[in-house]
Every structure is written in structure tokens, then in C-alpha cells.
Amino acid sequence: MDKVVPEWVESRFPLYAVSSIHSLYCTSNLPEHNMIDELTVLVAIAAGKGTLRIDERAYKLETGSIIVLPAHADAVLVAELPQPLHAYKLVIRGVEQHSGSAAGAMMRSSEIASTAAVQIYADEPGIVADIEELYTHRLPVSEMRHVQNQIIFHQLIYRILERQNTELESDEQPSMERSIAYLEHHFAEKITREQLAKAAGVSTSHFSVLFKQHTGFSPSEYLSRLRVHRAKELLISGSGTLREIALKVGYKDEFYLSRRFKQHTGISPSDFTRGKVQQVAVLLAPYASHLLLLGLAPTVTITETSEYVHTVESDPQGMNFIDIRSSAEQMKTVLLSRQVELIIAATEHLREYGLNAEQLRVVAPVVEIAWMEMGWKEHLRLIARAIQRSERAEQWLAEFEQEEQQARQQIRNNPAGEEIISIFVIKPEGVFVYGARNVGYVFYRSLGLRPPALIEAEIRKQGDQFHSVPVELSELDLYAGSQARILVIVYPDEKGNTVHSEQFFESSYWSGLSAVKQKKVDVLHVDDWVPYNPVSVRLQLQRAVDLLTSYQ
């Protein structure tokens, strides 16, 4: 009988195997993990945020990120404290096949292990889940589980190879997008038309025609807009002298910048800093509310829906909307047609929807107001500064602080002011106890009411950055003691259902709480209590006073 030779042996591709798998936690006690191995390492971020440092480079990581580290890479994984970082480290080895091959036949090298570059894929929750399952079953109790592990592992390898091949094919395709992206990220450097044409994969003589057909601008006009708009961003933030700004955006001195600035805008840089911006676009509705409060309706709002909550202090009538799921090119077309002068967005929101400031800067300067790193008052002040309306913002804040003081005094004279307020939020993905943002702001900050001790400690530590903490049902009593009054908010799922909350309300952990037995529980509507902007917070303050003073 002829000897049967398996196909994958004759193909001379390597087989893959797991050398080891580890669960890593970076915490305040151990914020870093050194990772160096003689084999290829796959790192999956299961929870938290952090940074991967390798040589002189740093890569930002978030939940769902995966990183392929080449063999012998000296890398350090660092948590973005105070939240811990949980990662899995999977060490991969390639097993060469020899049986069935001709003597001396050359084996193919592993595509995963042969690259010397660090590969990062930002949003791969499926791969992270696969690695987590492999870790959970790293000591299989049966051959069936062992085979299942092999299937999961090889599916994981296939998906990584698929990502690599997709990127390679994309890199090999000539495109104007590659040239434009290069210009958007390197505008402060000396750039030649030859460089851009090469990036696009077209001849130099044909490049300018194609570029203008694609963007509506000549390459030099596009470059000038990027530089001047970046200069505007730096002027708005007060980042350095005019000479320093000129050098940062790619001009040789402040005089050359001023000439280009005036050619582009019709005014000097100093006149720009004294003028008021009128045509503003915002990414997502929270910052639209800030603008409306300051007396300026957004020219364009880029959002998930055209629905908008009407309030007594703002009227969104006449507002133009762009679906945030539109492509960057579609957004730019609309923003240019509306003659937008300024774009306001949060870095986190841009990243969440696959956008970045570089893509939009050709339209107008992009002012990035961090969402989670500061509270709504700081949001308002920075937006007011960007549109030259700081005085109006400070006047509104002063009036609101007086309202806070009056409300606090009113609550102090009420028995509810002595109670601990616990805020549970039920989402499809789990249960959370809220801190000093969203619904927690008016109760803990404006009214000065007491949160549970564990939440109070986090608020002291993180301030307005502390949003919430996930909890298990078995932990509810840790956040709702005998003196607590409980507020509950239920988030519907994407189809509007709230069935997921039944497990919470029907559990013995919930029914056993003192506040539940004493009927000291209020269920609040998500639309009334979760929005986090000045107008909504003001409305929530009055609702909170009405709620607390209604108790007998």
C-alpha cells in the first residue's frame, strides 16, 4: 500500500502550537509587566487601558486590543491607573514538519513569527475572548476539550494571518487615500510632490490632476489648509508664541506663517484670536448642548441620530445633522459645503467611530475636548474659550452655583439629606454603581449627599473622572447599607427591551437589601437623569430636589 502523505506536510508550512499562556494584572501595586521572550508573543487586553513601551516607541492600548510582538522584543506593559489593566499573554511557537518531505527540502517560515514589526489591532474582542477561553481551559480534563482548544487556537491564528494579509493587500494597492493620509499626518514636515505621487502609486505628472479630482483642492492648497488650521488650533489653546507655532506647523518663521494665514483667512493671527467663531460643527450631541447654552447653535451636528432632547434653555431648530456612520469623505463634503469654521469633538468619540482629527482638519481646525478626563464645567469652559464666549460661560456657572447652594440648603432641612444615596444602573452588559458623573453629579456634587463608602473613596481619588464601577449581584449590599436610599436606572438594549433587568430585580441579593424592604427605592428614567451637559445637569438638580423633598 502506498504511503499516504498529509497535505499540510507536503505544503511545508509550519504548524503552530501554544508554548505557554499567562494572565497578567497591572495594578497600583504592580503597574508594569516586562515581556521578553525568544518566541512570538500575542498580548490581548481583556480590561482596562494602558501603554505598550518597546524601544523608544509607545503604543496606546484599550480593552479589545491585541498586539503581536516579534521574538526577542523587549516590551513593557504599563497600566493607565487608577483602573487595573488585565491582559493575557500567549506565547506561540512554530513547529516545522520534516516527515514526508524530501531530504533537505526548504521549510516555509511562519508569517506570524517572521515579521520584526510590532503589530497592533485596536478592536478585536473576538480574539480576546478566544484567548480568555484558552486560558480558562489551559489544563483540559478530557481529550475532547484538548481538541477544542486546538480548534480555537488555530482559528485564532487564522484570523491574525487574515488581518496581516488584508493589511498587506491594502498596502500594495495604489490609492490617493494613502497619499492624502500621508499628507494629513506629515504636513509639518518638508513634503515633495514626488513623495506624494509615489505614495499614491501614480506618476508625478498625473498626480496633481487626480488629487484635485479626489479632494477639490490642489496638493499645495490642501497642505496650506492643514497647516493654517493646525495653527488656529494652537492659537485657540494658547500653545506657544507665534514663532513656536509657525515651526510646529511647518513654516520657517512667524512672518511666513502670518502671510499664509492672511492669504487663507483674510485676517492676521492676532485678529483671529480676538474674533468670534460663528460656524461650528460638533461631534455628538453633548457638546451641541454646551454650544446652545453659550448662545450659538451648531451649524452641523455629527451624531448617531437626528433626534434631540428639547430643553427649556435651548432650541435645536434648524440644526443640520450628519450621520456619524458616514465616511470621513462624506463628512468633509458636508462640512465644507456648510463653511464650517471650527470642529469640536472628544478624542474618545473620534476614536470610537474610526475617525481622527487629521482627517477632518482640512475642513477646519479641530478642537479636541477630552470627554472622560474632565467634568462638564471644564467642558463648558474650554468650548467657551474656543468660541470666545468665556464671559458668558462664567456668568452661567456663577448663577448655577447659586442654585446649587440654595438646593443644598433646602435638602439639609430634609430628613433625606442624612441618608446615603446609592445609585445602581442596570445595563444589558451588567450592573454598575455610579460615581460623580451623569446621575451621580447632582446628588454627590451639587447637593453634597453621601455616597456609599466605597464610592466616596473613589470620588476622592478620581474626582469627576470617576464614572462608575461594575458590580456582581452578590456585592450589592456593599454599596447599599442599612442607611441607604437606592436610586435605580435601567438602560434598554439596542431593541428597546429591559428584560435583562429582571434578573436583578428578582434576585435574592436585591430583595434582601434593607432599602428594598423599607421601600426606599426610586426607579429613574434614563433620558431624564443620564445626559451629562450643563442644561441637563441644571434640570436634574431641580428633579433631584423635587424627588428628595417628596419623601415623608
Three-state SS annotation for 182-197: HHHHHCCCCCCHHHHH
Amino acid sitting at position 150: Q
For residue 399, being part of any structural domain is answered with: no
Closest CA to 471 of 422, 520, 518: 422
- Domain hosting 244: range is 176-273
For residue range 52-111, what is the model confidence (pLDDT) as tens digits?
Answer: 888 777 888 889 889 898 888 888 999 888 888 899 999 988 775 554 444 434 445 566
Residues 19 and 155 in one domain: yes
d(CA 302, CA 320): 9
For residue 315, being part of any structural domain is answered with: yes
For residue 86, being part of any structural domain is answered with: yes
Average pLDDT over residues 39-50: 90
Amino acid sitting at position 300: V
Closest CA to 346 of 372, 367, 370: 370
Residues 166 and 20 in one domain: yes
List the Cα angle 426/88/41 in 5-degree steps: 150
For residue 457, being part of any structural domain is answered with: yes
Amino acid sitting at position 40: T
Residues 375 and 358 in one domain: yes
Name the one residue in this structure whose C-alpha cell is 447654552: 293
| Residue 455 CA: distances (Å) to CA of 459, 541, 546 | 6, 20, 24
Residue 90 contacts residue 19 (beta carbons within 8 Å): no
**pLDDT number for residue 309:** 41
Residues 193 and 163 in one domain: no
Name the one residue in this structure whose C-alpha cell is 471650527: 342
Amino acid sitting at position 552: Q
For residue 395, being part of any structural domain is answered with: no
Which DSSP helix (H) or strand (E) runs through 155?
A: helix 143-172
Residues 424 and 532 in one domain: yes
Residues 263 and 356 in one domain: no
Closest CA to 478 of 417, 422, 416, 418: 422
For residue range 453-487, what is the model confidence (pLDDT) as tens digits?
Answer: 999 999 999 888 889 999 999 999 999 877 789 99
State which of 273, 293, 313 marks the end of a domain: 273
Residues 226 and 286 in one domain: no
- Collapsing DSSP to helix, strand or coil, 254 comes out as helix
Residues 216 and 314 in one domain: no
Average pLDDT over residues 334-360: 90
d(CA 124, CA 299): 35
- Structural domains in the chain (count): 4
Query: Length of the chain, please?
Result: 552
Residues 286 and 251 in one domain: no
Q: What CATH number is attached to the domain comprising 202?
A: 1.10.10.60
DSSP for residue 107 = P
For residue range 141-178, what is the model confidence (pLDDT) as tens digits?
Answer: 899 999 999 999 998 888 888 877 765 555 444 478 88
DSSP for residue 70 = P
d(CA 368, CA 346): 5
**pLDDT number for residue 277:** 86
Residue 24 contacts residue 33 (beta carbons within 8 Å): yes
Q: What CATH number is attached to the domain comprising 481?
A: 3.40.50.1980
**Structure-block grid coordinates of residue 62:** 484599550
- Collapsing DSSP to helix, strand or coil, 449 comes out as coil
For residue range 408-432, what is the model confidence (pLDDT) as tens digits?
Answer: 999 988 887 788 999 999 999 999 9
CA-atom Rg of the chain in angstroms: 28
Q: What CATH number is attached to the domain comprising 14?
A: 2.60.120.280
7 has pLDDT over 70:
no
Q: Would residue 238 be called left, alpha or beta, if left means φ above 0 and alpha means ψ between -120 and 50 degrees?
A: left
For residue 510, being part of any structural domain is answered with: yes
State which of 256, 273, 290 marks the end of a domain: 273
Q: Going by C-beta distance under 8 Å and a sequence separation of 6 or more, which residues neighbour residue 293?
A: 313, 314, 380, 396, 533, 534, 535
**pLDDT number for residue 38:** 85
Residues 374 and 436 in one domain: no
For residue 397, being part of any structural domain is answered with: no
**Structure-block grid coordinates of residue 416:** 433625606
Residues 165 and 55 in one domain: yes
Closest CA to 36 of 59, 58, 54: 54
State which of 171, 187, 204 marks the end of a domain: 171
For residue 526, being part of any structural domain is answered with: yes
Q: Which of 41-50, 215-224, 303-312, 383-392 shows the lowest mean pLDDT across its residues?
A: 303-312
Residues 13 and 127 in one domain: yes
442 has pLDDT over 70:
yes
